[in-house]
Amino acid sequence: MANRTVQSVKNSLKFKAQPKAGILSVKVGVKKYQVPVEARMISGEGFMFLSFPAVSELFRIENKALQAMASTEDAGAAFEKLNPGRRRGRRRAANVEMPAALVEALKNLPSGFKLGYGTDGSPKLVKTRKRAPRRSKAAKA
């Protein structure tokens, strides 16, 4: 694990974190208010990265409390835990072959039904939901 400064880890994670709205709330008296600020956040395995448009901070999670990491502290471990892996290329769906017996069994399902599962995990027939066709905006007017 290479030594990394807190600032270098913050700069690296800033655009890897997904932006989320409504992540921050403030309690005033007995009422809780959502702060209209978009924030970027990544958390996992003892570290949390939190970034607002003008400020970002790297926290250590210890004893159910957040402690801001000092800028002189080594943040290599935080980077290793929080840095999301990069997906390379497109994932192709594998061709799955269904056994002939299963294909024949599915053909025998009555019209208007599909295969579902009960709360205990046993298979059962379920009526398919009939949706009304969508009407265009021109048809509504």
Residue-wise pLDDT tens digits, 84-100: 777 777 777 778 888 88
Highest mean pLDDT among 24-33, 61-70, 77-86: 77-86
Share the mean pLDDT of the chain. Answer: 81
Over 70: is that where the pLDDT of 65 sits?
A: no
Cα dihedral 6, 54, 17, 71 in deg (nearest 10): 10
30 in a structural domain: yes
Residue-wise pLDDT tens digits, 113-138: 888 888 888 888 889 888 888 777 66
119 in a structural domain: no
Q: 41: closest CA among 54, 61, 58, 64?
A: 58
15 in a structural domain: yes
Task: Mark out the alpha helices in the chain (DSSP H runs).
Answer: 6-13, 76-82, 100-107, 137-140
Over 80: is that where the pLDDT of 8 sits?
A: yes
111 in a structural domain: no
Cα dihedral 77, 86, 9, 13 in deg (nearest 10): -130
The pLDDT of residue 140: 61
Domain that holds residue 41: 6-82
Over 70: is that where the pLDDT of 141 sits?
A: no
Percent of the chain having pLDDT more than 70? Answer: 87
CA distance 13 to 54: 15
CA distance 79 to 6: 9
112 in a structural domain: no
Number of structural domains the chain divides into: 1
The pLDDT of residue 27: 77
H or E stretch including 126?
strand 123-127
Phi, psi dihedral angles at 49 (to 5 degrees): -110, 130
Q: 60: closest CA among 72, 40, 43?
A: 43
